[in-house]
């Protein structure tokens, strides 16, 4: 085979450069982890000092802490790590059994009121959740409705692991509540449906852990999500969802993965999703 002439080679290289999308560097700024649990089974394997060190190494400078039971959140709030802002949320679950009946259990309302009155070492609770609704109809449970109205009245954010139908039902109780949608449709709700809900509910925020289809096989941002983030740059946040100990074991890896796809966005949009949107939601200062 004859060697390629230089002009042909140059043309080929240019074509390859044009076809291959530009791969930006991973995002390197501060992160806010908007979906974090420090549950009772994590404490023995990952003591407070250890999880704080993991966050620091990952560049996480702020967190929503929500733990089963709330003691884990209180422990993180009491640690008063200077490099970390803890935004405490009241978990609705005292134990595993509460997952399946909280939406109709009046004792949960009493527990929430009690925790609200007490607060934490890092200040008052700023939100409620994470809660789950495995059947979206339970969004109409008496306690679910009551807690949504309470959140709206007290300006508490709500972290909800629900499907798209439940988003509409929850907002029907409290149209101005600030609702963080855990995973933004963990069942793979189509991006078009997410867009429709974002348009309909101006106080809806999407949290992106475990979101199917967010990235391609190489961990880079998928085109439909890039378009959605460009359209709604102020409406998304990232999270680790440390719901099992394995997630704590790989905490830095999870945050590194987020930095890869954040790096595919324009820097101002990446900064908003990484930190700015959560900071605005909770009135946080820029990290020192
Ligand atoms: Zn969770």
Whether the pTM exceeds 0.85: the reply is yes
Enumerate residues 6+ apart whose C-beta is below 8 A from 53: none
Distance (Å) of CA 89 to CA 34, 221, 249, 269: 10, 29, 23, 26
C-alpha of residue 209 to centroid of ligand 1, in Å: 9
152-181 pLDDT, tens digit each: 999 999 999 999 999 999 999 999 999 999
Please state the rounded mean pLDDT for residues 24-42: 96
C-alpha of residue 115 to centroid of ligand 1, in Å: 20
C-alpha of residue 9 to centroid of ligand 1, in Å: 52
What residues flank ion ligand 1 with Cβ within 5 A?
130, 241, 243
Please state the rounded mean pLDDT for residues 10-31: 70
Return the axis-axis angle of helices 164-173 and 142-154, rounded to nearest 10°.
Answer: 60
C-alpha of residue 130 to centroid of ligand 1, in Å: 6
Q: What angle do CA 124, 129, 133 make, to 5 degrees?
A: 160
E strand intervals along the chain: 31-36, 60-65, 85-90, 127-132, 157-161, 178-181, 204-207, 236-237
60-77 pLDDT, tens digit each: 999 999 999 999 999 999
C-alpha of residue 35 to centroid of ligand 1, in Å: 6
Quick check: 40 and 68 in contact, CB under 8 A?
yes
Residue 21 confidence class, pLDDT cut points 50, 70, 90: low
C-alpha of residue 203 to centroid of ligand 1, in Å: 20
Quick check: 36 and 65 in contact, CB under 8 A?
yes
209-252 pLDDT, tens digit each: 999 999 999 999 999 999 999 999 999 999 999 999 999 999 99
C-alpha of residue 65 to centroid of ligand 1, in Å: 10
């Amino acid at each position: 085979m004859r060697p390629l002439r230089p002009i042909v080679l140059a043309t080929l290289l240019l074509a390859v450069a044009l076809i291959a999308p530009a791969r930006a560097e991973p995002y390197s700024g501060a992160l806010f982890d908007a979906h974090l649990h420090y549950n009772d089974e994590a404490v023995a394997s990952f003591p407070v000092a250890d999880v704080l060190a993991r966050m620091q190494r990952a560049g996480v400078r702020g967190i929503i802490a929500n733990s089963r039971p709330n003691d884990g959140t209180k422990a993180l709030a009491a640690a008063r790590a200077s490099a970390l802002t803890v935004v405490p949320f009241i978990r609705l679950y005292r134990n595993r059994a509460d997952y399946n009946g909280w939406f109709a259990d009046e004792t949960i309302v009493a527990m929430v009121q009690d925790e609200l009155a007490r607060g934490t070492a890092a200040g008052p609770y700023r939100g409620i959740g994470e809660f789950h609704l495995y059947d979206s109809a339970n969004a109409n449970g008496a306690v679910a409705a009551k807690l949504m109205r309470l959140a709206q009245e007290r300006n508490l954010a709500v972290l909800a692991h629900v499907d798209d139908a439940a988003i509409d039902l929850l907002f029907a109780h409290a149209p101005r509540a600030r609702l963080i949608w855990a995973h933004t449709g963990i069942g793979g709700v189509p991006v078009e449906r997410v867009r429709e809900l974002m348009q309909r509910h101006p106080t809806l925020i999407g949290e992106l852990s475990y979101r199917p289809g967010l990235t391609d096989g190489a961990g880079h941002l998928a085109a439909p999500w890039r378009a959605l983030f460009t359209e709604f740059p102020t409406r998304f946040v990232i999270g680790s969802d440390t719901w099992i100990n394995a997630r704590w074991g790989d905490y830095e890896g999870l945050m590194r993965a987020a930095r890869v796809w954040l790096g595919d966005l324009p820097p101002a949009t990446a900064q908003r999703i990484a930190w700015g949107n959560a900071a605005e939601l909770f009135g946080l200062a820029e990290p020192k």
